[in-house]
Amino acid sequence: MAQINFGGTVENVVTREEFPLEKALDTLKNETIAVIGYGVQGPGQSLNMRENGFNVIVGQRKGKTYDKAVADGWVPGETLFEIEEALEKGTIICFLLSDAAQIELWPTVKAVLKPGKSLYFSHGFGVTYKEKTGIVPPPDVDVFLVAPKGSGTSLRRLFVEGKGLNSSFAVYQDASGNARNKCIAMGIGVGSGYLFETDFYKEVTSDLTGERGTLMGAIQGIFAAQYEVLRANGHSPSEAFNETVEELTQSLMPLVAENGMDWMYANCSTTAQRGALDWWKPFRDATKPVFEQLYNSVKTQEQAEISITRNSQPDYREKLEVELAELRESEMWQAGAAVRNLRPERN
Ligand SMILES: NC(=O)c1ccc[n+]([C@@H]2O[C@H](COP(=O)([O-])OP(=O)(O)OC[C@H]3O[C@@H](n4cnc5c(N)ncnc54)[C@H](O)[C@@H]3O)[C@@H](O)[C@H]2O)c1
Ligand SMILES: CC(C)(O)[C@@H](O)C(=O)O
Ligand SMILES: [Mg+2]
Ligand SMILES: [Mg+2]
C-alpha cells in the first residue's frame, strides 16, 4: 500500500498501480456479484462493474426502478431478477437497499448467506447499529464495505468520463482469509480511483456527520441565512442568489477543488481576501458548537434512530418529497432555477 502524508499524518492508501483492474478481475473471476437494489448506488456500481468486465447481476423488486434497470440494459431472467432469485444466484451479495429497507430484507438475505458467500455494503450503518437493525452476519461469511465518497450518480458520471471517485473500504469479517483482497477488488470494480482504509464504525460516524454537516445540511443552512439577510435588506432575488450560491458553484468551488482554499482566495481581489480572512474564524466559532452537537447526536446513535424510524414508515417517500418540494419551491431555489437557465452555455 502507498504511504501518503496527509498534512503530517501518514496513512495507507490502495492505488490502482498496486491493484490494477486485471488483478481485481482475477480476484473475482469465480464470483457472481449480485447488486441488490437499484436506487442511487445500485445503478452506478453495477453499470461500472459490468463495463469493467465483472460478472454482475441485479436484484430489484418490480416497479419503476426495475423498468429503469431494463432500460439500462439488464436483461430479465439473464442479468436482472427479483431480489430473492438474485440472492440465490449471487456469491457476493451487494446490499444496496436504503439503510432502513435493509432491516426489512435482512432475514431474507441472511437465509442465503451460506459459507463461501460474501456480504458487501456501501455503508457501515447496518452492522454498526446492529442492536437497532438486527443485522448480524453469520460468522462464516466475509463481510466488507466499499463506500464511494459521493453520490452514485457522480460515481457513474465520472466513470463514463474516464475519471473516478475515491472510496473508503473496510473489512468487518474475514472468514475466507481473502476478504481484504475481495473488498479491494470490488472497490476497483465499482470505479474507485484510490481506496482509503477505515472500519465500519468510523465510516458510518464520519459519513453521517459529513452529510448532515458541510456536505448537505450545513451548506443549505448557511445559504439560507445569507440569502435571507440580503433579501431583508432590499437586494433582489437574483442578486441574493448570485452572491450566495451561483458564484460559489460556478466560479469559486472549482478553484477550491483544483488547488485549495488559499488558491481560490488568491484568485479574488485583495478586498475580498481581506474580508474572507477576517470573517472565516467568526463563522467557524459560531458553527462549531452546532457541529459538536451533531457529532454527539451521531455518536449516541440518535441520528441512526431517527433515520430508521422515519425512513421505515410506509409513506416515507411521499413525506420526503414534500420536504424536498418545500426546498425546491422556496424563493431562493426558484431564483436558482431561473439563474441556472441563464447560464451562457444553456443557450
Ligand atoms: N445514495 C448514494 O449516493 C450513497 C452514497 C454512498 C453510500 N450509500 C449507501 O448505499 C446504500 C444504498 O443507498 P441508495 O441511496 O443507493 O439507496 P436508495 O434509497 O436509492 O434505495 C435503493 C433501493 O432500495 C429499494 N427498496 C427500498 N425499500 C425496499 C423494500 N422494502 N424492499 C425491497 N427493496 C426496497 C428501492 O427500490 C431502491 O431500488 C445505503 O447503505 C447508503 O447509505 C449511498
Ligand atoms: C452521497 C453521500 C452524502 O456521501 C452519501 O453518504 C449518502 O448517504 O448519500
Ligand atoms: Mg451517507
Ligand atoms: Mg457519504
pLDDT, tens only, 42-77: 999 999 999 999 999 999 999 999 999 999 999 999
CA dihedral 67, 25, 176, 125 (to 10 degrees): -40
What is the whole-number distance in angstroms between the Cα of residue 315 and the centre of ligand 3? 21
Cβ density class 146-178: b for 16+ within 10 Å, e for less: bbbbeebeebbebbeeeebbebbbbbbbebbee
Contact in structure between 95 and 109 (CB atoms under 8 Å): yes
207 C-beta closer than 6 A to ligand 2:
yes
pTM, rounded to two decimals = 0.97
pLDDT tens by residue, 234-275: 999 999 999 999 999 999 999 999 999 999 999 999 999 999
CA distances in angstroms from 58 to 111, 116, 128, listed in the order given: 18, 20, 25
The structural domains of the chain, ordered by start, are 2-198 (3.40.50.720), 213-346 (no CATH)
Q: What is the C-alpha separation between 69 and 36, in angstroms, rounded?
A: 12
pLDDT of residue 1: 81
At residue 347 the predicted structure's pLDDT band, cuts being 50, 70 and 90, is confident
Residue carrying the nine cell digits 455518536: 299
Annotated ligand binding at 104? The verdict is: no
Please give the pLDDT value at position 176: 97
**Ligand 2 lined by 211 (C-beta under 6 Å):** yes
* CA dist., res. 309 & res. 126, Å (int): 14
| Ligand 4 is an ion; residues with CB less than 5 A from it | 207
Nearest CA to ligand 2 atom 4: 150
- Pair 307, 99: CB distance under 8 Å: yes
Taking CA atoms, 281 is separated from 171, 275, 276, 284, 287, in Å, by: 38, 11, 9, 5, 10
The crossing angle, in degrees rounded to 10, of helices 316-329 and 302-311 is 100
Q: List alpha helices for the chain, DSSP H.
A: 21-27, 41-51, 64-71, 83-89, 99-112, 125-128, 130-133, 152-160, 179-189, 200-212, 217-232, 237-241, 247, 253-259, 261-266, 270-299, 302-311, 316-329, 331-341
Q: Which residues line ligand 1 (CB under 6 A)?
A: 37-42, 60-61, 65, 96-99, 101, 104-105, 122-123, 125, 147-148, 151-152
Show the cell assigned to 310.
422515519
The pLDDT value recorded for residue 113 is 98
Specify the residue with its C-alpha closest to ligand 2, atom 3: 211
User: Alpha-carbon distance 246 to 239, whole Å?
Assistant: 10
Q: Report pLDDT for 49.
A: 98
CA angle 96, 97, 98 (to 5 degrees): 115
Closest ligand 2 atom, CA of 148? Answer: 4
Residue the block writes with cell 425512513: 311
Give the residue from 247, 143, 232 showing the smallest Cα distance to 186: 143
- 172-207 residue pLDDT tens: 999 999 999 999 999 999 999 999 999 999 999 999
For residues 152-173, give the mean pLDDT.
97
So what's the ipTM on this one?
Answer: 0.97
Secondary structure, 3-state, 78-94: CCEECHHHHHHHCCEEE
131 assigned to a ligand binding site: no
Whole-number pLDDT of residue 313: 96
**Band (150; pLDDT cuts 50, 70, 90):** very high
Q: Look over the chain and give the mean of its residue pLDDT values, rounded to a whole number.
A: 97
State the Cα–Cα distance between residues 69 and 34, nearest whole angstrom.
Answer: 13
- Catalogue the active-site residues: 123
181-205 per-residue burial string, b: 16 or more CB within 10 A, e: under 16: bbbbbbbbbbbbeebbbbebeebbb
